[in-house]
Structure 1
Amino acid sequence: MARRARVIVVGCSAFGAAVARSLSASGSDVIVVDMREDAFDRLGDDFDGETVTGDGSSASVLRECGAERATHLVVATGRDTVNLLVAELASEVLGVRQVLPVVDDDSLVEILEQRGIDPICPHRICEEEFFQITGLPRAEGER
């Protein structure tokens, strides 16, 4: 029997909440961490996971959430630098197997990729989608 996913989502942004709701509805164990309690309103009444009000960039808060046992950790705060810090902490210190930070800054994306962390880069995803939808040519040497 496959092990049930245990996912921690740091940052109850629109993206973080959407991921948390969907994973919870599909049967994963989900814990959402945010510094603002009202951010959890985005999760809706059907959310079946846990919420923790606290600083997701704190190793002690992540440990309280069971980060060492997490299969995935999604970092979706509104700040790239915070997402980078939490991603490195979760990956390198707490040993979370798959860490997925949302990052827009290309230089931070490169840092994460060099460390073996798979960043989610919204503008790159949108760019890929644009060229797929339109069928327009992309400049030689571009992604």
Structure 2
Amino acid sequence: MAKRARIIVVGCSLFGCAVAQALSAAGHDVIVVDMQEDALDGLGPDFDGETLTGDGKSALVLEECGVRRATHLVAATGDDASNLLIAELASEIFGVPHVLPLVDDDALADILDDMGIAPICPHRICEDEFFRLTGLTRKEADL
């Protein structure tokens, strides 16, 4: 089966590992970057992608990952500011078409939205899913 996308995942957080494993299992070309080599062990033995120990905030490290050929980049470190920086580098400097930073801070999520970068904001996703599952409605101001 041909690989469908080239995806860089920066950060082996729980989310980063889960996304990388799922994308690899789906047949995509995945490379995962983390500063701590032992964090990469979280990918498990079934991970069929590449790994690189390094700082994903570094343009040189992103270049080493083949960022110019990447179709997607997921910034999934445990630090919102780092994810914002990585997203900006990937989107603005390297022109990665699909950049998805993980952020918990609503203000940073709004900044990314304004930049045309779609943030992954777990509490927003969970809140949306809560209202979908319960059928309850939000206040008008929240819509």
The TM-score range, normalised by the shorter chain, is over 0.9
Task: Quote the RMSD (CA, aligned, Å).
Answer: 1.2
Please give the TM-score of this superposition, normalised by the length of structure 2.
0.96
2:87 alignment partner in structure 1: 87
CA distance in 2, matches of 1:24, 1:97: 19
Q: Given residue 55 of structure 1, which amino acid in structure 2 is its aligned partner? A: D
1:63 alignment partner in structure 2: 63
Deviations 1:33-55 (A, max 9, x none): 00011111211101010000000
CA distance in 1, matches of 2:59, 2:114: 22
1:15 alignment partner in structure 2: 15
Q: Structure 1: where are the runs of 5+ without partners?
A: none
Please say if residues 87 and 100 of structure 2, whose CA atoms lie closer than 8 Å, have aligned partners that are also in contact: yes
CA distance in 1, matches of 2:55, 2:86: 10
CA distance in 2, matches of 1:4, 1:132: 31
Paired residue secondary structure (2:24): helix
CA distance in 2, matches of 1:65, 1:27: 18
Q: How many residues align?
A: 142
1:129 alignment partner in structure 2: 129
CA distance in 1, matches of 2:137, 2:96: 39
Deviation at 1:9, TM superposition (A): 0.1
CA shift in 2, pair 1:113/1:36, >3 Å: same
Task: Percent identity, please.
Answer: 70
Q: Structure 2: where are the runs of 5+ without partners?
A: none
CA distance in 2, matches of 1:97, 1:137: 34
The 5 Å alignment of 1:1-143 reads 4-143=4-143
CA distance in 2, matches of 1:29, 1:136: 40
Please give the TM-score of this superposition, normalised by the length of structure 1.
0.96
Paired residue secondary structure (1:8): strand
Please say if residues 3 and 28 of structure 2, whose CA atoms lie closer than 8 Å, have aligned partners that are also in contact: no
